[in-house]
Structure 1
């Protein structure tokens, strides 16, 4: 049995938190261009943002990103942060920062803006993609360095290695594969927005405390054994390429229509069997779009290096 099991606090009838997406650099702006969620597109030139028609836009030069990101976070204050940046954080309670790591804008932008969110009291969740193994060693090392730094600046960091796309959609053209990746990266945002409250943030910190970055698995099931099928598919995620028994923490969000509490209890019990050493935080919500299907979303933490 896990060392800790707790639950998200959003109950039916309560207003969900206001989430806002901040897409940083090329990968972040690609995500923003395809989402209907409230969002801000952030790039180093206006041309970078042209495809993000529905989003707010913010241009920050690469030099500014580098200077701010390399400043000791303890030296930053609200008054030092440019007003144009502060304004973008106004109408949100949870900021979701999305970027590809390895380049200047994505790596330094996520570093800086996760610190900004904390200073402004806008808790940040970060979602990042990591370079393909065929990309330069310099870029891959920069991504890993940024990832380790960001782990200490944000409430939760979820990472997706681009290489795993080849396992997920092996024969799909890369442009279409990236669209699939965007929809996968959107899943934890949609799920967390349905179960989280502000009071959950310190509990999430406690649960995630001994983990570094997190990986995602999603499973769908229908029929008599839909719970087993959904659990199996979620744990078969190509991003779960590490020893799951070593994971210190995990988040599980279960959705169906309607929610069957006994089924949720059975699913949680099975997750305990897969993750015997993990602290576990669970949530569930009703999603009519699922019809007769059950969906399980798992965020599993890798041990800190």
Structure 2
């Protein structure tokens, strides 16, 4: 049977940095809660209203990011540019870097790749959560997003993608600005949860897991009453961005929040094992609001 192991069992928390790149990334970052020692960082080419409550900021010109992000860290092992030095200054003494942003623009997509390059030179584990443009935004933007995604997959340990097209499945009746805010809140959940639960001893093993597969997917579900665990896992696997067949999942990070966390975690892991019998599982119990009677599960699935 594939391995199963628990995250967050030690007292020393991993030192996590969550960095939002570009306008989309900074908007997602606003929804992230990051208890110490985690920190939030905004990266953009100018001060934007979405950066208002984020004290740590890095301002870089967009024009040079593609060239710098494309430099292979094995061939060019030192950080010589001002942009790299600015980014490395805010990422020093971190263990894990969570990178948020949107693909398809001139700043966010290339900025995520550059952050990944700097983090790798510094020796940090990296996970990126990135949006993919709507099909209706046209082939040029989609092609740019694909190029940025291919580079990002070379620069970070794992990439979770969120298609904007699938956003319409969950927020079809909302105005577009509110739909994007809803997506930002969804993407912020795993970033907030991982920054809260990871221990320093988890980092190396998690990094190896992230790097073993090319594509990662995210799903979240919630259930109440007697069959809450079954319903929560069923919803997570049916999430719009969890597009893989259950049996194709080879690695999964499972984050559980429940009023009866111990018993529910056991049942949730059993339900996931039934759907994805070949998956190696890393799991954690999150803090749970006292007035919430739901079992909530987040699944990051690697295929």
TM-score above 0.5, yes or no: yes
Verify the 8 A CA contact 1:258 1:286 in the aligned structure 2: no
Residues 78 and 120, structure 1, Cα contact 8 Å, conserved in 2: no
Against the structure 1 CA distance between its residues 105 and 233, is the aligned structure 2 distance closer, same or farther, given a 3 Å change threshold?
same
Task: Work out whether 1:54 is the aligned partner of 2:53.
Answer: yes
- Indicate the residue corresponding to 1:8 in structure 2: 6
Give the deviation of 1:91 after TM superposition. 5.5
Is this contact kept in 2: 1:207–1:281, CA < 8 A? no
Does the aligned pair in 1 maintain the 2:103–2:132 contact within 8 Å?
yes
How far the C-alpha of 1:163 sits from its partner, in A, is 0.8
What is the CA–CA distance in structure 2 between the aligned matches of 1:156 and 1:301, rounded to whole Å? 9
CA distance in 1, matches of 2:50, 2:229: 40
1:247-300 Cα offsets, whole Å, 9 max, x none, are 22221111223422x332222111011112322222223323463221111111
Task: Give 2:17's aligned residue.
Answer: 20
Measured in 2, the distance between the counterparts of 1:147 and 1:72 equals 15
* Counterpart contact for 2:251–2:302, Cα < 8 Å: yes
Query: Bigger shift: 284-293 or 157-166?
Result: 284-293
Contact 2:73 2:121 in 1 (8 A): no
**CA 1:107–1:251: 2 relative to 1, 3 Å:** same
- 3-state SS of 2:80 partner: coil
Deviates more, 1:19-28 or 1:31-40: 31-40
Unaligned 5+ segments in structure 2 are: none
The aligned residue for residue 184 of structure 2 is 182
User: Counterparts in 2 of 1:171-210, with a 5 A limit?
Assistant: 171-210=173-212
- CA offsets 1:53-88 (integer angstroms, 9 cap, x no match): 122222111222122112222233344253322221
What secondary structure does 2:50 align onto?
A: coil
Alignment of 1:76 with 2:87, yes or no, is no
TM-score scaled by length of structure 1: 0.89
Note closer, same or farther for the CA distance 1:34–1:204 as it changes in structure 2 (3 Å cut).
Answer: closer
Q: Is the 8 A contact 2:217 2:302 kept in 1?
A: yes
TM-score normalized by the length of structure 2: 0.89
SS in 1 for 2:27: helix
Distance in 2 separating the partners of 1:244 and 1:141: 29
